[in-house]
Amino acid sequence: MLSSRDSFPVDCEMIRFYFFAGKSDLKDFLAIDDFDTATIKTILDKASEVKALLKSGERNYLPFKGKSMSMIFAKPSMRTRVSFETGFFLLGGHALYLGPNDIQMGKREETRDVARVLSRYNDIIMARVFAHQVCW
């Protein structure tokens, strides 16, 4: 099992792509330890293929066509937002940004309720949070 402390060139954005594109048996991606080394190699190989395809100008590879993703940002990040929105768009999907003032999980709205509502309307829920912990 690969540990997050191991020195392995992991492209986390592409792991998320691989996971959410339905190529994994996992229902939730919570930690890098959820993947064995062979799976990570497969993910990185696919990432390389997709990157080359997009770099060549190909715009017909749309695994997320008709899909929507809610992006919850408790901890704002320009790079994370731009990479997810752009990547999801280039692969056919629509991303919806929900910043700290849009959703205040645990304050205005219970995390459980947010998850329930968002999962009804979206195919994917992505969250950038301050502490990595299971909230629901």
The CATH number of the domain covering residues in 68-128: 3.40.50.1370
Q: CA 4, CA 32: separation in Å to the nearest integer?
A: 6
CA 59 remoteness from chain centre: 20
Lookup: tokens for 90: 């280039």
Q: 85-126, pLDDT tens digit by residue?
A: 999 999 999 999 999 888 877 777 788 888 888 989 999 988
Collapsing DSSP to helix, strand or coil, 57 comes out as: coil
Q: What is the pTM of this model?
A: 0.69
- Would you kindly state where each structural domain of the chain is located, as residue ranges? 12-55, 68-128
pLDDT classification of 56: cutoffs 50, 70, 90: very high
Strand order across the 94-98 sheet: 94-98, 68-73, 124-128
Q: 74-91, pLDDT tens digit by residue?
A: 888 999 999 999 999 999
Using the predicted structure, report yes or no on whether residue 64 has a pLDDT greater than 90.
Answer: yes
